[in-house]
Structure 1
Amino acid sequence: MTGVNEIRSTFLDYFKKNDHEVVESGPLVPRNDPTLMFANAGMNQFKNVFTGLEKRPYSRATTAQKVVRAGGKHNDLDNVGYTARHHTFFEMLGNFSFGDYFKDQAIEFAWNLITREYGLPEDRLLVTVYSEDTEAADYWKKIAGLSEDRIIRIPTSDNFWTMGDTGPCGPCSEIFYDHGEHIWGGPPGSADEDGDRFIEIWNLVFMQYEQTPEARLDLPRPSIDTGMGLERLATVLQGVHNNYDIDLFRALISASEHETGVDASGAALSSHRVIADHLRSTSFLIADGVLPSNEGRGYVLRRIMRRGMRHAHLLGAAEPLMHRLVPTLVREMGRAYPELIRAEALITETLKLEETRFRKTLERGLGLLDSATGDLSSGSRLDGETAFKLYDTFGFPLDLTQDALRARDISVDTDGFNAAMERQKAEARAAWSGSGSAATEAVWFALKDTHGATDFLGYETETAEGVVAALAADDKEIEKLSAGESGYVILNQTPFYAESGGQVGDTGEMLGAGVRVSVTNTQKKADGLFVHAVTVEEGELVPGTALELKVDHARRGAVRSNHSATHLVHEALREVLGTHVAQKGSLVSPDRLRFDFSHPKPMSDEELATVETFANEIVLQNAPVDTRLMAVDDAIEAGAMALFGEKYGDEVRVVSMGTALHGGKEGKPYSLELCGGTHVKRTGDIGLVTLVSESAVAAGVRRIEALTGAEARTYLDAQDKRIREIAGILKTSADEVPTRVSQLMEDRRRLEKELAEARKKLAMGGGSGEGTPVKDAGRFKLMARAVEGINPKDLKGMADEAKTQLGSGVVVLISVADDGKAAIVTAVTKDLTGEVSAVDLVRIGSEALGGRGGGGRPDMAQAGGPDGSKADAAVSAIEAHLAGL
């Protein structure tokens, strides 16, 4: 059997031998096409090459492209898991010619690959061509030796590809595989073409025209774009008829079976298939930088994740499931896609966090759904208001609700759902438009229109003279501010830096004739209007008042130090962790700096120490900090880092500091960034950089906090004092503190383990000399016990021991937690599994405990319930069931 990885490598190697450049898959979020939500074809990353906007150093290419179809025009989500070939994620194999070879060689490449390299029998292959493309039909006869009856001419647009209303276009030729007469279906173009007998495996697109608004013209350099679904090809080469039966999916479904204890058969089969498919799409999306959210691509990801999580719930998974399958996916696909290996920790963490959150509302949402549809019969429709409540209150995407009702043949009023959604948005807009925030913004735009943007002088000076242009308070312009009153001052010019780019706004004072004003904050509004939050201490402010403006020098100095240190830490992180590190947020205040950045896992102590060392190396250089204005394109070309999503004007400030000592950049500026903030004159002014914490902000986003200068020295002095105090308590030296603490922790772990074993033994009656009592329940022996202080995870192991002790019979163990919730495990000895199912028993017990569902194997099952006080009732219900068998 030919495995998926071998099929993929055979394809790429074949075209590499035929002078094609092997190009890595483009990301799932296309960089060069904002019209696409996700990459949906192999040619996406070459779009600008085909249109002539971009030149590449090669004219032939081959790829295995990652594709997601779960949003927008291409949306297969509803069918995934229920059909043989629908997926949210798949791989598209392709070869491309950019004005190099054309139809004859493309057909020859395709035919030789599938018949010689893959060994497909020629008599099972047939092709389609566009009805007007006699040239392609002639090549198929000449190169492949196909007879006329195996070349099907299609007159419709199915065999003519276009990029859009205008642009490159051309006829297609598709290769089909015939599974044989024993499979229902007709050839392409026939009334029965939707059957499974004839399966399209490869589509060759001959780009030979340019469509203009007026006419279709011949391209001077025709090109080739082909696409072959890897999963479809694998079904043919592996002799199966369902994509989910190929080796890759069998491995993922087997892992799902193992983790849930539920076989992939009957009703459970579709759920396992959904989980396997959705695991792939969610993992690759996260690896390419998409994180779950409530809008855009992030919401599509969340929809896929939650649909998979609901199917895990259907299988009775008592704990988050999908993250436990990630290692299997990485093992199967990581070699071909190393980004999976790099992002494994991020994928695992994101899936676990999302599933943990969603499980809290899933059961309540399903309860509402059951209640709302209890009286609905097959063919009925759920009202849109209820579907929207499930979305708004319980986080159920619409397609999850539709999927949950699918088996009962109940549809959803989507028009009613959309109407409820629009009504909520309208209410939110109305509430916002009347809020203080919106009203305040209107004030600033009006003042900006009247007085223009504020002239900022603060890069060169911390003192200046200015004139009051306007005053505001309570969301409106006012005529004066008197002593004791607070409000906002607009000046004609200012040295006060307005909060921007993570740097806090300046504070200070304004002085005039008989006037003293405290400045408590400075913010930028309406694209260039500096707004000073003030309190008048003495006198009165009116428009036209002349003032002496003084920034708080000590505070500004501390902010400068922290901002410059932020740049050094950013570059050090990229040097230590990799260039995937990108700024996701920052706060530069007088007392500390905070820097959020993209990274999939916690940093090690060694990595943190190295970042700190690298930053302080530049501080010790005492190098000048240079700032200059450049055209934004020139700055980026020079290597300056720009923040993703930040808007820059035609001219930008570029801040450089230090000289690189390692990392292959020796002699070049250590840090070079676009930045509008204030900075020290020399790196030595920073004094010292000390990292004080590293933590998670969100999935895939880490946060570092650091101190500089005097704050750093104070922090380190306090740390040294604490270490000496701890050493005194432990009666050891400061150097020996880590060793002594490790010894104490090891002693604690050993004692906790011994205590847990003692509790388990006592729970089963071992401490009293009496074992768990055994009673007769009809024809069966029943060993049942409610235990306290036992971790639910230990129940299965205890049940296995009890089965061995019992010999033949049924074991029921119920653990009640401090919050009153219960976990129940049922176990049946092997000799009785033909008569008694542990799954049936655990569901009876769970229902008595106020729960629903549960799952496992015939010999061992687990469930839970909210009411641990009903433990005895659960045992009695199971006993009664056994007695009746």
Structure 2
Amino acid sequence: MKSQDIRKSFLQFFESKGHLIVPSAPIVLKDDPTLMFNNSGMAQFKEFFLGNGTPKSKRIADTQKCLRVSGKHNDLEDVGFDTYHHTMFEMLGNWSFGDYFKKEAIAWAWEFLTEVLKLDKDRLYVSVFEGNPAENVPFDQEAFDIWKQYVSEDRIILGNKKDNFWEMGDQGPCGPCSEIHIDLRTDAERATVSGRDLVNADHPQVVEIWNNVFMEFNRKADGSLEKLPAQHVDTGMGFERLCMAMQNVTSNYDTDVFTPLIAKVEEITGLKYTPNNVILNESEESQEQNKTNIAIRVIVDHVRAVAFAIADGQLPSNTGAGYVIRRILRRAIRYGFTFLGTKEPFINKLVEVLANQMGEFFPEIKSQQQLVTNVIREEEASFLRTLEQGLQLLDKVVAETAGKEVSGEKVFELYDTFGFPKDLTALILKEKGYSFNETEFETELQKQKARSRAASEVSTDDWTFLNQGNVDSSDSEQAKQTFVGYDKTENDVKITRIRKVDSKKDGVLYQIVLDATPFYPEGGGQVGDKGTLVSANETIEIIDTKKENNLILHFAKQLPENVEAGFVAKVNTDLRTSTSKNHSATHLMHLALRTILGTHVEQKGSLVNPNYLRFDFSHFSKVTDEELRQVEAFVNARIEEQLQLVEHRNIPIQQAMEQGAMALFGEKYGDTVRMIEFGDSKELCGGIHVKNTADIWHFKIISEGAVAAGIRRIEAITGDAVKDFYKNQESTLAEIKEVLKNPQDTMKAVVALQDDNAKLKKQIEQLLKEKAKNLKGELASQIQEVNGVKFLATQVDLNPEGAKDLAYELGNNETNLFLVLATAEEGKPMLTCYVSKELVASKNLNAGQVVRELGKYIQGGGGGQPFFATAGGKNVDGIKEALEKAIQFIK
């Protein structure tokens, strides 16, 4: 079966069992602060397991795009070296929310594998949880007894907590699981060693393909377990591994999920990939082929992860999820650079293959194909330049190294500051006959990790339930919460639950849940509301509002003395009003950009807060000044038209799309949506808006620039911020006029000043050149000979450029010259060193090393070439000692 048919077969099977088939959620999570990426099939259903929402059906099936590259679930370092781990993978899953349980889940799993797909029963093994007395969790007798109906007991393996007990995190729903493993070895290998003995032993051909999780417990903050009031089923089957089993191969990379990508890499590089079932010997040729295989596996795996992340709205960057995506892509580029000899961008050429292969089921990769290609190509070009810089820096480190072992701290600095990979450094050093101190490197790496962990360390208490009895969090009716913020900025409320959160970053905060809140939680680019909770006796400040697993959380630095009291929740209306102006202006600007630049423009990110708005969008070139003026004029025209807000709440998404609403890629929409209209502007949006565009007052663009290849960013302001902007401009102009003695024509006066300045600069340059010529003869007479070297170290009254010209002038007239000149223009010390080229070879003099040593006396440093180098510093008083020490290099 082809991979597309396997996927369809799974979904059709569970549809026949009464399951609702739902689309994959985006790979990038935007409404769950506990996760960067969707790392499992269940991530999009967390709110249902936690009891904070009600699913559309009690039975659901899907295939979910997953990414495992950070945190607890991290397979990155295994990718490429084995044949069954991936960064991005598909998780086929069927779900029961308080409906069927172990009996049906096990029966259907077995039926699908053995009757629909007709996998060999003799190659299948199953595992059940053996129990954990320390946590008072018994052996899963129920699952064991059910499995005995399908397989003999010798094929049922008892698994420990690590392998057969699944947990959402340190707290929350969890339960025992029952896995299904398949043995894909040859008959001869199976006759030698039983597959049972290789289950969970990291054997590449004895792998887990399906995991049935039975959620029946809740893990509390103290580690104890309590029974959930409703039992759930969460299953996940690795799509790529299932394809391996169905296509009679022994590597995921030999399936049609990856072979088209591999074929494209072969075409681009001229190198060949050998399938996993080709036995390689220990010869040097064979080892080189193995390196090629690993590199190709890394590249075809990583391009999937990066491409789908970008298509879902996550651009590579230097922070957060963007940094993870950049790191994955750079790992792929580096493997191509080192092992496939690719010195030009090429990974972007795989996107077309991926889009053709997966675009039918995941349309986002097809519709975003050009953007994904552009972003990857630009990232490749950028990192290849970084690699070149890294090679130059590494050459410098080697030149400064005494002996044959480079400092591990220096290698870590290359890795941490310039993104230069450790293993590439090791490879290059080996070619030069060097190594580096790995212990020092690991020490620095662990220090960095410890700093990172400390900064992000968070402890969370259990929820305490109020004003509703001590109900369990899984009782969705009791835990129900209403958002009234579209209609109100004040509301009578009761606190329904609270918990304490302690983090290194923010200290102790309290999360408060209200029964009917007017506070808008951060989302869709809009920041969360701030405000107060007011009772008869006290006022509690709400410093932020966020959404987590469908719960609106209000953050406070303290709790009310009486949490059971009645409160009035009051939104800070000044901040809310300013934010709403910026949000509505964002919608108008989106329409303006599509009207003026073209309908290829799509929103790729936004930030809306009380102070300004930021809008990222797809566009292939810089927006010209004239185009920006047109965008401003377009938005301000809509403001002047006084367009009334038209709001459609809870309308079917299909109806909204038919009416022309803009939907954003990478966003997760429900069956019903909210549509916001201002004239021709129609967007799906959950944010807060003005009632009439006239409320925005005025719109002003502050900046425009590139964020990534094919992505531009505009920052703009509205309302009072525009008034303040023009006041500041007026004040600045008044100050300029005063400095210029209040000329009648300010612009003419500025141009005249610029012309005068340019003339004076030319005169100064000419004077300095003449001064340097006069100095040349004076300094030539001061040169002395030391050990066969013509030597001079002195301070000159020139700027650094003049000192450089003077050094070259003297160097052209003298042989065997070792010259150090010091300058101190505007109190900034600078050392300039010139070494005749014949001395570089005969005396082993290196100008770069000289200025690095002498630079210490002026509290600075620098570098350059062996015959010419400079060093800047900040201690003018150190010049004298630096010049005195210079002679030691030739004594």
The alignment's TM-score, normalised by the length of structure 1, stands at 0.52
The residue correspondences of 1:102-121 to structure 2 (distance < 5 A) are 102-121=101-120
Show the counterpart of 2:617.
598
Higher mean displacement: 85-94 or 611-620 = 611-620
Distance across 1 between alignment mates of 2:584 and 2:682: 21
Amino acid at match of 1:223: H
Q: 1:170 aligns with which of 163, 175, 178?
A: 175
Distance across 1 between alignment mates of 2:208 and 2:63: 18
The residue correspondences of 1:681-830 to structure 2 (distance < 5 A) are 696-699=706-709, 701-703=711-713
Show the counterpart of 1:781.
none
Asked if 1 retains the 8 angstrom alpha-carbon contact of 2:39 and 2:67, the reply is: yes
For residue 189 of structure 1, report the CA deviation from its aligned partner. Answer: 6.0
Show the counterpart of 2:589.
569
Amino acid at match of 1:246: T
Amino acid at match of 1:390: L
SS of 2:42 mapped into structure 1: helix
Amino acid at match of 1:326: V
Distance across 2 between alignment mates of 1:192 and 1:62: 26
SS of 2:258 mapped into structure 1: helix
For residue 59 of structure 1, report the CA deviation from its aligned partner. Answer: 0.7
Amino acid at match of 1:168: P
SS of 1:325 mapped into structure 2: helix
Distance across 1 between alignment mates of 2:80 and 2:211: 25
Distance across 2 between alignment mates of 1:333 and 1:169: 33
Asked if 2 retains the 8 angstrom alpha-carbon contact of 1:594 and 1:706, the reply is: yes
SS of 2:104 mapped into structure 1: helix
Show the counterpart of 1:534.
none
Distance across 2 between alignment mates of 1:203 and 1:329: 28
Larger relative contact order, structure 1 or 2 (CA cutoff 8 Å, min sep 6): 2
For residue 253 of structure 1, report the CA deviation from its aligned partner. Answer: 0.9
For residue 133 of structure 1, report the CA deviation from its aligned partner. Answer: 1.4
Show the counterpart of 2:90.
91
Amino acid at match of 2:188: H
Residue 301 (structure 2) pairs with residue 302 (structure 1): no
Q: 1:225 aligns with which of 234, 245, 266?
A: 234
For residue 293 of structure 1, report the CA deviation from its aligned partner. Answer: 2.0
Show the counterpart of 1:285.
309
For residue 136 of structure 1, report the CA deviation from its aligned partner. Answer: 1.1
CA-to-aligned-CA distance 1:15-49 (integer Å, 9 cap, x gap): 12222122222222323432223221111111111
CA-to-aligned-CA distance 1:374-396 (integer Å, 9 cap, x gap): 999xxx99643122232355332
Q: 1:253 aligns with which of 231, 249, 262?
A: 262
Q: 2:188 aligns with which of 168, 179, 182?
A: 182
Q: Using a 3 Å threshold, how does the CA distance of structure 1 residues 570 and 253 change in structure 2: closer, same or farther?
A: same
Q: Using a 3 Å threshold, how does the CA distance of structure 1 residues 107 and 368 change in structure 2: closer, same or farther?
A: same
Residue 603 (structure 2) pairs with residue 581 (structure 1): yes
Distance across 1 between alignment mates of 2:587 and 2:198: 65
SS of 2:33 mapped into structure 1: coil
Distance across 2 between alignment mates of 1:16 and 1:25: 16
For residue 260 of structure 1, report the CA deviation from its aligned partner. Answer: 1.5
Distance across 1 between alignment mates of 2:347 and 2:439: 27
Distance across 2 between alignment mates of 1:352 and 1:660: 38
Give % identity.
Answer: 40
Show the counterpart of 1:124.
123
The residue correspondences of 1:474-485 to structure 2 (distance < 5 A) are none
CA-to-aligned-CA distance 1:191-223 (integer Å, 9 cap, x gap): 993334532111111112334448533333211
Show the counterpart of 1:137.
144
Show the counterpart of 2:788.
none
The residue correspondences of 1:51-90 to structure 2 (distance < 5 A) are 51-90=50-89
Show the counterpart of 1:9.
8
Amino acid at match of 2:153: E
- Report the number of matched residues: 535
Asked if 2 retains the 8 angstrom alpha-carbon contact of 1:387 and 1:417, the reply is: no
Distance across 1 between alignment mates of 2:683 and 2:75: 46
Q: Using a 3 Å threshold, how does the CA distance of structure 1 residues 403 and 33 change in structure 2: closer, same or farther?
A: farther
Show the counterpart of 1:101.
100
CA-to-aligned-CA distance 1:266-299 (integer Å, 9 cap, x gap): 1322111111111111111212222222222222
SS of 1:42 mapped into structure 2: coil
CA-to-aligned-CA distance 1:419-468 (integer Å, 9 cap, x gap): 7869999xxxxxxxxxxxxxxxxxxxxxxxxxxxxxxxxxxxxxxxxxxx
Show the counterpart of 2:253.
244
Residue 211 (structure 2) pairs with residue 203 (structure 1): yes
For residue 673 of structure 1, report the CA deviation from its aligned partner. Answer: 5.4
Asked if 1 retains the 8 angstrom alpha-carbon contact of 2:585 and 2:635, the reply is: no
The residue correspondences of 1:8-27 to structure 2 (distance < 5 A) are 8-27=7-26
Distance across 1 between alignment mates of 2:97 and 2:361: 25
Higher mean displacement: 71-80 or 576-585 = 576-585
Asked if 1 retains the 8 angstrom alpha-carbon contact of 2:60 and 2:94, the reply is: yes
For residue 141 of structure 1, report the CA deviation from its aligned partner. Answer: 2.4
Asked if 2 retains the 8 angstrom alpha-carbon contact of 1:623 and 1:682, the reply is: no
CA-to-aligned-CA distance 1:525-576 (integer Å, 9 cap, x gap): x99xxxxxxxxxxxxxxxxxxxxxxxxxxxxxxxx99999765333555898
Q: Using a 3 Å threshold, how does the CA distance of structure 1 residues 191 and 326 change in structure 2: closer, same or farther?
A: closer
Show the counterpart of 1:396.
420
SS of 1:227 mapped into structure 2: strand
Aligned Cα root-mean-square deviation (Å): 5.2
CA-to-aligned-CA distance 1:312-336 (integer Å, 9 cap, x gap): 2131224211111110111111222
Show the counterpart of 1:360.
385
For residue 188 of structure 1, report the CA deviation from its aligned partner. Answer: 4.8
For residue 671 of structure 1, report the CA deviation from its aligned partner. Answer: 13
CA-to-aligned-CA distance 1:107-165 (integer Å, 9 cap, x gap): 111111111221112222221112311211221222x2x11112222244421222234
Q: Using a 3 Å threshold, how does the CA distance of structure 1 residues 272 and 705 change in structure 2: closer, same or farther?
A: same
Amino acid at match of 1:622: E
Show the counterpart of 2:774.
none
CA-to-aligned-CA distance 1:729-771 (integer Å, 9 cap, x gap): xxxxxxxxxxxxxxxxxxxxxxxxxxxxxxxxxxxxxxxxxxx
Asked if 2 retains the 8 angstrom alpha-carbon contact of 1:383 and 1:412, the reply is: no
Gaps of 5+ in 2: 131-138, 275-288, 453-525, 528-542, 545-579, 647-660, 666-674, 719-891
Show the counterpart of 1:660.
679
Asked if 1 retains the 8 angstrom alpha-carbon contact of 2:100 and 2:233, the reply is: yes
The alignment's TM-score, normalised by the length of structure 2, stands at 0.52
Asked if 1 retains the 8 angstrom alpha-carbon contact of 2:348 and 2:376, the reply is: yes
CA-to-aligned-CA distance 1:26-83 (integer Å, 9 cap, x gap): 2223234322232211111111111111112211111211111222222222222111
Distance across 2 between alignment mates of 1:662 and 1:199: 52
Q: Using a 3 Å threshold, how does the CA distance of structure 1 residues 74 and 387 change in structure 2: closer, same or farther?
A: farther
Amino acid at match of 2:590: H
Amino acid at match of 2:8: S
Distance across 2 between alignment mates of 1:211 and 1:658: 45
Show the counterpart of 1:454.
none
Asked if 2 retains the 8 angstrom alpha-carbon contact of 1:624 and 1:657, the reply is: no
